[in-house]
Every structure is written in structure tokens, then in C-alpha cells.
């Protein structure tokens, strides 16, 4: 019996303990990834708000309502039309924008997670003002880190405990069988681990692989945050300027502040004088913190609020540049905004909802629903060469009433083959006018 115990615990069982632990670990992390908030933002937030009517009706309480009526809300989300066709009571009762909701590619667990998030949603109490679903990086991923830290801690405690039990048993066994030969290996834990690893190479490499992937994934996520990867780069600014308050709530036109976007290469960041046009009068923010930030404008402009006079002691506001092209790239706003008639949203996202100036994400831009504004489906991260190239490959040049393009058409017609290939789809793409030529974008 004793011999059996000691042998059993020695080497053969250890790998299975580890395998079991990792299975538990993996299934735990997989199940906790059903993040209702993220799913909602990905799939539904373009039309729905938890507590406000947008394109779609508010969703809070919808689940309870459907369940009370004995109807199947899952079937609705996956295929609304079918519910109308079947004359389901709850569907007919919505009558908000019939036919306005396309079927959603989500499964029941995901729907549960989404509706749970929606039902538990409360308005954020923060300086963010009227922003709905908070946009941009939050400290969500801090929680993920914490989760992994805890899991790691538990795991190592379990390993140590397992080892302890094993040793205890070993000594107990040895005490009983005094005089029996001592297994040399037992003396050195390091030796034992090494021996175990070489005996279980396959398992060790699988575990190593999983560990490496996990580290790489979270490492990459961290890089996004510090801006080495441009997407969602969101540095701290000398004055906490909030786009959602200015361009959103107060509907100030983008070009009131970025007034060179339509006529020159750069869009420009407004000088403190532009801020003073309003903030000479508007001295209070939406809360105390906002008021303190506005005081920084007064300090920068050298304005004494008490005396209502400029003191002449100004200090420049050192805004941190968020979008930054390398020196070898030529990008021109006027070419895109005025000639190409591309809306800011196509490249910067729905800035009206942003609380800070940040680089928008590809996903965010693809999910925007902006009526009548040209949206190009993107797959490449913003500010990379692939991004420019991809849009130039799909974006049409607006050729309406432009003598410039009439001339080009005339010239193209002299080469029948070329003209045919360009006009094949009845559209002129940026690429076809040279938007893929290196020298157009590179100095």
C-alpha cells in the first residue's frame, strides 16, 4: 500500500494534475470572455443604447417584456423579420422602425451577455458629460491583467501545495520503511523538475506554447496603450479638452477649430485665442474639474478673470500630437476633405462622441452608421500604409462637374485599352488616377 502510494504520486500522476489544472484554467478564461459590454458595442451599439432611443429603441427591460409575453427574444435578435412574419405579439408591439433591424449573427449565450449588460447599465457619473457608451480605452484591460495575476497566483499555490503533499507522503513512507534505500533523485527538487520535464516533453511544449501566446497577446495590448501601435493612441493632454462637450453637445463645427482642414495640408490645432472666443465668457465647466481645466486656458492666454483683463503673461499650450505620420510621408487634408469630399468621420471616427483626441480604431469606423457620408470598409489599422492603399483601391473619385476630370477622361480615351480597364466598373478609383504611385505619398 505504501509503496503503491509513493509510486503513484511520484511521476506518473503529476502530468495529469497539470493537464487538469490547465483545462480548468482555459475553460475559466474562455467563459469569462463573454463580455456583454464588448459584444454590445461590437454588434448593437451602432443602433441601440441601453436607455435611450436611437436608430433602434432602448433595450433596457426588453428581455423581461418579451419573457412576460411568453415570446422568444433570442429568435427576434437572430431574425426579426421572421418574428413579424409569424405575427409574434411582442414583435408587432414594437412598431418602432419596422424592418429596421437586420438579423444579428450572435448565439444565445452572447445575447444573454448583451442583455444582461444592457439591463445592468447605469448612466456613468463622470466628466464625460453626455457620452453614451464610453468610447475608447478604459481600464477594462487592467481587470484582465488582475484576473490573470490571480489565476497565476492560485496556480502556483496549487503547484506548491501539490509538491508539499507529495513530499510529506514521501517522508511518511520513508519513515515507515526505515532502512530502505533512499531514492537519490528525491533530494533535489530542481533535479526532479528537470527529470519530469524531459519525460513529458510534449506536455511541457504545449504548456510553453500556451504561455507564450498569452504573454504575446497581452503584451501587444499594452503596446496599443502606449501608442507604439497607433490604434486608439490616446495620450494625456495639457488641458483635458473634451470633444463630446464641444463638437457633440454644443455642436461646434469641426472646422471652427480645425479651420485649415479644408484648405491646406494640415487640419491644425486651434490656438488658445480660439478657445478664448468662448472661454472669456464661459468660465465654468460641467463640474469642478472642468472649471479647473478652463482656468488653465485663462492662464495660458494670460487672462485675469477678476480684473477682466489680459496681463500679457502668456504661456503656450503644448498639445501632444496624436496622429503622427513619419517625415517621409505626404498627407494632405484639403486633397481629401475638399477634393475627395471625404468626411472627417471616415478617417477619425465619430469624434463628436470622443472625450479626448485619439486615433480611431478600424473596427469603430466600420461600425459607424453615418447617413449619406461615404464610408469605406477598412481592414488595415489606421495610419499604416496599408490603410491609405486600401482606401485608394476602393474609394471612388468624385468626378461630378469637374473640368479637371473631363480633361483626364479625354486623355484616357486616346488609350482605348486603358480607358476600358479603368471604366470597366463605371467608377474611377483613386488608384486608377495614380493613388498607388509611391511618389504621390512619399517625399
Residues 411-440 touching ligand HEC, rule: CB under 6 A, are: 430, 433-438, 440
- Site for ligand HEC, residues 381 to 410, rule: CB under 6 A: 383-385, 387-389, 391-392, 395, 397
d(CA 344, CA 348): 6
Tell me which stretch binds ligand HEC (CB under 6 A): 22-30, 136-144, 180-188, 316-324: 316-324
Q: How far is the CB of 409 from ligand HEC (least distance, A)?
A: 13
Tell me which stretch binds ligand HEC (CB under 6 A): 144-152, 199-207, 211-219, 271-279: 271-279
Is residue 324 close enough to count as binding ligand HEC by CB under 6 A?
yes
Q: List the one residue from 46, 81, 144, 200 that touches ligand HEC (CB under 6 A).
A: 46
Q: How far is the CB of 280 from ligand HEC (least distance, A)?
A: 10
Q: How far is the CB of 415 from ligand HEC (least distance, A)?
A: 17
Is residue 243 close enough to count as binding ligand HEC by CB under 6 A?
yes
Could you tell me how many residues make up the chain?
Answer: 443
Q: List the one residue from 135, 347, 412, 422 that touches ligand HEC (CB under 6 A).
A: 347
- Site for ligand HEC, residues 154 to 213, rule: CB under 6 A: none
d(CA 188, CA 190): 5
Q: List the one residue from 193, 256, 309, 421 that touches ligand HEC (CB under 6 A).
A: 256
Return the C-alpha torsion angle 391, 392, 393, 395, nearest 10.
70
Q: List the one residue from 10, 116, 174, 279 that touches ligand HEC (CB under 6 A).
A: 279
Show the site string, 223-242: x = touches ligand HEC by CB under 6 A, - = not: --------------x-xxxx
Tell me which stretch binds ligand HEC (CB under 6 A): 28-36, 191-199, 221-229, 277-285: 277-285
Q: Which residue lies nearer to ligand HEC by CB, 2 or 286?
A: 286
Show the site string, 352-371: x = touches ligand HEC by CB under 6 A, - = not: x---xx--------------
Residue with cell 512619399: 442
Q: How far is the CB of 21 from ligand HEC (least distance, A)?
A: 35
Q: Which residue lies nearer to ligand HEC by CB, 6 or 43?
A: 43
Is residue 113 close enough to count as binding ligand HEC by CB under 6 A?
no
Using an 8 Å Cβ cutoff, are 345 and 365 in contact? yes
Q: How far is the CB of 343 from ligand HEC (least distance, A)?
A: 6
Half-sphere exposure for 365 (CA within 13 Å, toward CB): 26
d(CA 298, CA 310): 9
Q: How far is the CB of 370 from ligand HEC (least distance, A)?
A: 11
Q: How far is the CB of 426 from ligand HEC (least distance, A)?
A: 16
- Site for ligand HEC, residues 64 to 93, rule: CB under 6 A: 73, 76-77, 90
Q: Which residue lies nearer to ligand HEC by CB, 309 or 385?
A: 385
Q: How far is the CB of 241 from ligand HEC (least distance, A)?
A: 4
The alpha carbon of residue 30 and the mean position of all alpha carbons in its chain are separated, in whole angstroms, by: 19
Using an 8 Å Cβ cutoff, are 129 and 91 in contact? no
Q: How far is the CB of 216 from ligand HEC (least distance, A)?
A: 20
Amino acid at each position: 500500500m505504501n509503496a503503491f502510494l509513493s509510486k503513484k504520486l511520484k511521476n506518473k500522476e503529476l502530468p495529469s494534475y497539470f493537464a487538469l489544472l490547465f483545462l480548468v484554467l482555459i475553460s475559466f478564461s474562455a467563459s469569462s470572455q463573454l463580455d456583454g459590454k464588448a459584444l454590445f458595442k461590437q454588434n448593437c451599439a451602432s443602433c441601440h443604447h441601453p436607455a435611450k432611443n436611437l436608430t433602434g429603441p432602448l433595450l433596457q427591460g426588453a428581455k423581461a417584456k418579451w419573457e412576460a409575453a411568453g415570446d422568444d427574444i433570442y429568435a427576434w435578435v437572430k431574425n426579426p423579420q421572421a418574428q413579424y412574419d409569424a405575427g409574434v405579439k411582442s414583435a408587432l408591439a414594437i412598431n418602432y422602425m419596422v424592418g429596421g433591424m437586420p438579423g444579428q449573427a450572435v448565439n444565445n449565450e452572447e445575447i444573454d451577455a448583451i442583455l444582461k449588460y444592457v439591463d445592468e447599465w447605469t448612466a456613468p457619473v463622470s466628466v464625460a458629460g453626455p457620452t453614451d457608451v464610453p468610447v475608447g480605452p478604459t481600464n477594462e484591460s487592467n481587470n484582465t491583467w488582475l484576473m490573470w495575476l490571480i489565476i497565476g497566483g492560485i496556480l502556483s499555490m496549487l503547484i506548491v501545495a501539490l509538491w508539499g503533499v507529495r513530499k510529506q507522503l514521501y517522508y511518511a513512507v520513508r519513515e515507515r520503511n526505515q532502512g530502505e534505500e533512499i531514492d537519490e533523485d528525491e533530494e533535489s527538487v530542481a533535479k526532479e523538475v528537470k527529470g519530469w520535464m524531459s519525460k513529458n516533453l510534449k506536455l511541457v511544449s504545449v504548456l510553453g506554447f500556451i504561455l507564450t501566446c498569452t504573454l504575446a497577446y497581452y503584451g501587444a495590448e499594452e503596446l496599443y496603450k502606449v501608442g507604439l501601435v497607433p490604434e486608439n493612441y490616446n495620450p494625456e493632454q495639457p488641458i483635458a479638452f473634451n470633444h463630446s462637450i464641444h463638437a457633440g453637445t454644443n455642436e461646434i463645427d469641426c472646422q471652427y477649430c480645425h479651420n485649415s482642414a479644408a484648405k491646406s495640408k494640415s487640419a491644425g490645432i486651434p490656438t488658445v485665442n480660439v478657445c478664448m472666443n468662448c472661454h472669456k465668457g464661459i468660465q465654468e465647466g460641467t463640474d469642478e474639474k472642468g472649471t479647473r481645466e478652463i482656468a488653465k486656458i485663462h492662464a495660458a492666454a494670460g487672462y485675469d478673470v477678476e480684473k477682466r483683463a489680459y496681463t500679457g503673461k502668456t504661456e503656450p499650450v503644448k498639445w501632444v500630437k496624436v496622429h503622427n505620420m513619419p517625415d517621409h510621408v505626404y498627407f494632405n487634408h484639403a486633397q481629401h476633405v475638399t477634393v475627395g469630399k471625404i468626411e472627417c468621420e471616415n478617417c477619425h471616427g465619430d469624434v463628436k462622441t470622443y472625450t479626448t483626441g485619439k486615433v480611431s480604431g478600424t473596427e469603430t469606423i466600420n461600425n459607424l452608421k453615418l447617413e449619406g457620408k461615404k464610408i469605406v470598409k477598412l481592414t488595415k489599422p489606421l495610419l499604416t500604409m496599408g490603410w491609405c492603399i486600401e482606401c485608394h483601391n476602393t474609394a471612388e473619385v468624385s468626378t461630378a462637374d469637374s473640368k479637371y476630370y473631363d480633361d483626364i477622361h479625354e486623355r484616357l480615351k486616346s488609350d482605348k485599352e486603358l480607358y476600358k480597364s479603368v471604366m470597366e466598373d463605371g467608377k474611377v478609383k483613386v488608384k486608377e488616377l495614380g493613388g498607388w504611385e509611391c511618389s504621390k505619398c512619399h517625399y
